[in-house]
């Protein structure tokens, strides 16, 4: 019988702790954690994400500034805004909502954010810190996965862990965090030959490929912990993950649902990273 890994309940628990730590930081130092979110263009999904982040900040007592820029914003204009936010003492975290319009360089924008305020942990300086294991914060989704494993008493140490997907946002940092937790990690991707032969070995399987219900029960080891990072729409427009929940849940020991699994943890870890940045600033 499988157990659900409840990301919503875990996120609420962590946010309550963040709210209390924020209150204590304000009382002790007068500092209110501040997050600036920059969105360029009118992508509907991005607007929803930004709105959710703004609401989450208000919920825990953060200062939240949203900068909505038109689609035609020039690269220099965007970089100038980031420079201003880098030097703004009220702001402890800067997040530029991706994807950006095609005429803008995501790499240049990420590089411009001060590493101390890069609460997405995408700046090359923070990526390097994650590689060597001496980091202040990690990318939000992989960090959220690690929090869920801890919350449910699932120790990756000595386990065979398979990560399906090699993106800079999820797959690569996920593999690094699992290695830091003493797991043996295999990273699979679109060029992997015989993917199922790898996934069937996994004690912990993390899937982040963006293909609806791609992982089926015949690809999963009995008793595996299955973490579904995917967020897709099926043929009926219903939200679903990269894992075929109905069949895989019959073999898994633990599994994350979609929605309600990893998703709520991502914004929660953004809040925690921003609070960490503010706390470091207060020292």
φ, ψ for residue 215, nearest 5 deg = -85, 120
pLDDT, mean of residues 128-154: 97
Question: Is residue 23 annotated as a catalytic residue, yes or no?
Answer: no
At 134, is the secondary structure helix, strand, or coil?
coil
Q: For residues 151 and 5, what is the distance between their CA atoms, to the nearest angstrom? A: 9
Question: Is residue 65 annotated as a catalytic residue, yes or no?
Answer: no
Give the tens place of pLDDT for each residue, 38-95. 999 998 888 898 999 999 999 999 999 999 999 999 999 999 999 999 999 999 999 9
Question: Is residue 120 annotated as a catalytic residue, yes or no?
Answer: yes
Q: For residues 267 and 272, what is the distance between their CA atoms, to the nearest angstrom? A: 9
6, 117, 118, 120: the active-site residue:
120
Question: What is the model's pLDDT at position 282?
Answer: 75
- Residue for token pair 């875990």: 10
- Residue for token pair 């060597």: 132
**Range(s) within the chain of domains with CATH label 3.40.50.10860:** 30-114
Q: Left if phi > 0, otherwise alpha if psi is -120 to 50, otherwise beta: which for 98?
A: beta
Question: What is the model's pLDDT at position 13?
Answer: 98
Give the tens place of pLDDT for each residue, 7-28. 999 999 999 999 999 999 999 9
- Residue for token pair 């140490």: 157
Question: What is the model's pLDDT at position 281?
Answer: 84
The strand ranges marked E within the chain are 3-4, 34-40, 63-69, 93-96, 160-164, 184-188, 204-207, 225-228, 232-233, 239-240, 254-255
pLDDT above 80 (res 148):
yes
6, 97, 118, 172: the active-site residue:
97
Q: How far apart are the first and last CA of the chain?
A: 48
Token couple for 51: 């709105």
6, 53, 172, 221: the active-site residue:
53
Give the tens place of pLDDT for each residue, 83-127. 999 999 999 999 999 999 999 999 999 999 999 999 999 999 999
| CATH number, domain 140-263 | 3.40.50.720
30-114 belongs to CATH 1.20.120.450: no
pLDDT above 90 (res 249):
yes
């Amino acid at each position: 019988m499988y157990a659900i890994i409840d990301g919503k309940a875990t996120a609420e628990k962590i946010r309550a702790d963040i709210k209390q730590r924020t209150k204590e930081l304000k009382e002790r130092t007068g500092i209110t954690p501040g997050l600036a979110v920059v969105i360029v263009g009118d992508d509907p999904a991005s607007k929803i994400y930004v709105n959710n982040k703004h609401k989450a900040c208000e919920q825990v007592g953060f200062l939240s500034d949203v900068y909505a820029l038109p689609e035609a914003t020039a690269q220099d204009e965007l970089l100038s805004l980031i420079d201003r936010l880098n030097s703004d003492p009220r702001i402890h975290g800067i997040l530029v909502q991706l994807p950006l319009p095609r005429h803008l360089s995501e790499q240049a924008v990420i590089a411009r954010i001060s590493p101390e305020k890069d609460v997405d942990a995408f700046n090359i300086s923070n990526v390097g810190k994650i590689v060597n294991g001496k980091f202040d914060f990690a990318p939000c989704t992989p960090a959220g996965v690690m929090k869920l494993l801890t919350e449910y008493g699932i120790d990756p140490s000595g386990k065979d862990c398979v990560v399906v997907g090699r993106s800079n946002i999820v797959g690569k940092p996920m593999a690094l965090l699992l290695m830091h937790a003493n797991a043996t990690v295999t990273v699979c991707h679109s060029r992997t030959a015989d993917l199922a032969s790898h996934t069937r070995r996994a004690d912990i399987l993390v899937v982040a490929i963006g293909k609806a219900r791609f992982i089926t029960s015949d690809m999963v080891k009995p008793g595996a912990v299955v973490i579904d990072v995917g967020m897709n729409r099926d043929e009926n427009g219903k939200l679903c993950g990269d894992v075929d929940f109905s069949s895989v849940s019959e073999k898994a020991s633990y599994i994350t649902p979609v929605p309600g699994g990893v998703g709520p943890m991502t914004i929660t870890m953004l809040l925690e990273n921003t609070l960490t940045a503010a706390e470091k600033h207060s020292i």
